[in-house]
Structure 1
Amino acid sequence: MFVSIKLLKHSATIRSQFRAYNTRARDELLRKVYAPFKSLKEGSPEYKSLAKSGKVWEEYHKPGDDRPYLAIQATMVKELEEIDRWKQLLENNNKKRVFTTALINKYAHQSVGIEGNNLSIAQANTISVKLAKYVDASTLLPTEDANETIELRNHILVCKKLVEAALAPSDTKGLNETYVKELARGVLIDTTSQDMIERMAWGKRTKIGEYRNLPIRVRSNNLRIFPYPAEVPALMGRFFEWRNESIKSKKLHPLLAAIHIMVHFTHIHPFLDGNGRVGRCILADHLIRNNLLPVVFQDLERQNYLQMMSDAQDHNPEELCELALSTQLDMLRTFLGTD
């Protein structure tokens, strides 16, 4: 017993030292990222203007840098050409509608699963069928966790609307601020996150679907620096401008462009919760609009996904791009047949 207590105390000391190290490392990184503010008087007009611009965070992280994606594109020419041959067959809108609609439950189930939801794909299918008549969680899956049921219900409903919007005529507006805020509201409505955000948040109250009013961090990476709330509106405004210009330039294949758009969005992390789910909706939307399928990864572990996303935000998107490309190819071959 004496040894066990000693080991426990030692373990607690190590954890405490690790937390202290993480805190120091994060503080040092924050000082490095926001170093340009050192020369300004806090509270001055220049200080406030720079803070609201978001340019300090943006200049340090460069989320719109497409060079890593262009480098990957140069190494995947044959695979991307094969994807382009397959996607020509999806330009028949009937096929595209059938296939993308068939993937809604799987895509929604995978997306909430990445966030820790434990419901099964069979339960996702049950919810989808029952949604024709019911929306209340206690009716959809009465014996399961209500919040998990609501999360999955919400994502299925959001994906249904997303598919309809993405299948609309090509001149229909795509991604914009209103649409993204609607997605954020859609994935969180009636969940415990809504209660947390609207009733228990510190400072000025906000609502789901509105940009966050608090600084945030993620447990998976204490050294991931997201912009401060004051920076978010300007950063999101430039995000939409960057997205539109990137698409117009056609430098990146639509598959790689979709991944970059998702990574850029999640790096800003504009909402208090639901950023990952909204990011994956943005990914699906762009793929469908470009005659591709929303990627449903097979046997994807949450930690592996989080690591790939973190690497991509650090300008190392190779693993994420390779997985998305191979998955897209497998799905196109499965749905459209093989040679």
Structure 2
Amino acid sequence: MPRISLQQELDRLSALIAEHPDGVGSEALFKLLDGAVQRRTLQRRLALLVEQGRIGVQGGARSARYVCASQGPPTAEVDPPISPEGQDIRAYVRQPRHLRQPVGYRLAFLEQYHPNHTAYLPQGLRDQLHALGRSPAEQTPAGTFARDILNRLLIDLSWASSKLEGNTYSRLDTERLIDYGQVADGKDVLETQMILNHKQAIEYLVHHPEHACVQPDTLMALHALLSDGLMADPAACGRLRRRAVEIGGSVYLPVALPQRLEELFGIVVSLAAEILDPFEQAFFLMVHVPYLQPFEDVNKWVSRLAANIPFVRHNLCPLSFLDVPQQAYVDAMIGVYELNRMEFCATFLSGPTNAPASNTWP
């Protein structure tokens, strides 16, 4: 029997994806192929098709869905206004992977940061965010404002954070699920679980103010709550990873040695805990938790919830990630991974629709 060529494999896989207008996940594809390829081979083939522009990918991590390039998302995302520096980052990371230089974890990126002396966010931006982020409860005990707006926070942050991972629940679907336990029709069970996990993690921070502090146990607990029922290995929930991982769409390879990973995780959390300015602390966590990739999966989810710890603690308006375009967010994070540049990421704090403040909060 003649050997199937790589091109034939790619053509077959592309045709299979084309049969699913709403997209299809890698696990479903693996089952449809019925053992014709190994899982790792399938992932490499999918990455190659994405690089060639024959298919697109929506979402990230375990919720990623592949679509024919001709189908694409139903509506185009509009990038937020970004600086010339942010545009440079976007242009670089949108190049094909073979044109970008493979990189590993750069310790110097972490060592160059000195809490309360180094600042990723300019003073003017921090002043602006402090003015916008004030709440009526700023003189009350920690967590008061978050509890006052808890229902809306649960819905907005659960929906927006999940959407960044490719979740297709609408905001109304999310509201019905959180308020009434009503599962949306036609949704994957993992999408429902993702929303409910966010709800549990937010309540963990808000109902127990003692948890709203930057320490290893808190981040591990957030991971355990956010990843519950979603990890390939259930034992990996709430545990630092013990194996190497790769990042889809990026040429960045995170630290692989478990002992080194544990050491760096401790340093990252310790540095973050020393930062006095709540907005700088939030941004540091948004950048360095995903950069380190301390968990097997769900790292960006943890970083988004962890970024809200200083806002809960200081009774500031929370960061909901509403209206953050998914592809822009992915591009910004890849800019951190591959270039250690954060100008694009800063857009998500300073944008008018997603300032922690926003006038949308009561």
Smaller-chain TM-score bracket: 0.5 to 0.7
* Counterpart residue number, 2:180: 130
Deviations 1:148-188 (A, max 9, x none): 111111111211222223xx26xx67222222222111112
Q: Percent identity?
A: 17
* Counterpart residue number, 1:254: 278
Q: Name the CA distance, whole Å, in 2 between partners of 1:318 and 1:24.
A: 19
* Counterpart residue number, 2:128: 79
Residues 176 and 81 (structure 1), Cα distance of their counterparts in 2 relative to 1, 3 Å cut: closer
Deviations 1:53-112 (A, max 9, x none): xxxx4534337626997264234365245236x346544465442224421111011111
1:270 Cα offset (Å)? 0.8
TM-score if structure 2 supplies the norm length? 0.64
Letter in 2 for 1:305: Y
Letter in 2 for 1:262: M
Q: Name the CA distance, whole Å, in 2 between partners of 1:330 and 1:279.
A: 15
Q: Which has the larger radius of gyration?
A: 1
Unpaired runs of at least 5, structure 2: 1-7, 12-44, 53-95
* Counterpart residue number, 2:200: 157
Match status 1:220 vs 2:249:
yes
Do 1:64 and 1:264's aligned partners in 2 also have CA atoms closer than 8 Å? no
Q: Name the CA distance, whole Å, in 2 between partners of 1:212 and 1:78.
A: 37
Do 1:220 and 1:306's aligned partners in 2 also have CA atoms closer than 8 Å? no
Letter in 1 for 2:220: K
1:21 Cα offset (Å)? 7.5
The one of 216, 220, 237 aligned to 1:177:
216
1:290 Cα offset (Å)? 2.2
Unpaired runs of at least 5, structure 1: 31-56, 132-138, 199-205
Residues 300 and 164 (structure 1), Cα distance of their counterparts in 2 relative to 1, 3 Å cut: same
Q: Name the CA distance, whole Å, in 2 between partners of 1:307 and 1:69.
A: 24
Q: Name the CA distance, whole Å, in 2 between partners of 1:71 and 1:151.
A: 31
Residues 291 and 21 (structure 1), Cα distance of their counterparts in 2 relative to 1, 3 Å cut: closer
1:321 Cα offset (Å)? 2.1
TM-score if structure 1 supplies the norm length? 0.68
CA-atom RMSD, angstroms?
Answer: 3.5
Output aligned runs, 1:27-38, within 5 Å: 29-30=103-104
Match status 1:98 vs 2:131:
no
* Counterpart residue number, 2:344: 319
1:264 Cα offset (Å)? 0.8
1:214 Cα offset (Å)? 1.3
Moved over 6 A (4+): 18-21
1:332 Cα offset (Å)? 4.0
Moved more, 275-284 or 92-101: 92-101
* Counterpart residue number, 1:116: 166
Residues 124 and 212 (structure 1), Cα distance of their counterparts in 2 relative to 1, 3 Å cut: same
Q: Name the CA distance, whole Å, in 2 between partners of 1:90 and 1:121.
A: 28
1:228 Cα offset (Å)? 1.1
Match status 1:59 vs 2:107:
yes
Residues 186 and 95 (structure 1), Cα distance of their counterparts in 2 relative to 1, 3 Å cut: closer
Equivalent pairs counted in the alignment come to 269
Deviations 1:194-215 (A, max 9, x none): xx224xxxxxxx5321111211
Letter in 2 for 1:83: L
1:82 counterpart SS class: helix
Q: Name the CA distance, whole Å, in 1 between partners of 2:148 and 2:112.
A: 34
Q: Name the CA distance, whole Å, in 2 between partners of 1:159 and 1:97.
A: 10
* Counterpart residue number, 2:233: 197
* Counterpart residue number, 2:289: 265
Q: Name the CA distance, whole Å, in 1 between partners of 2:189 and 2:136.
A: 42
Output aligned runs, 1:287-326, within 5 Å: 287-313=311-337, 314-326=339-351
Do 2:160 and 2:323's aligned partners in 1 also have CA atoms closer than 8 Å? no
Residues 179 and 308 (structure 1), Cα distance of their counterparts in 2 relative to 1, 3 Å cut: same
Letter in 1 for 2:303: G
Deviations 1:256-313 (A, max 9, x none): 2211122111111111111111111101122221222222234322110011223345
Greater helix proportion? 1
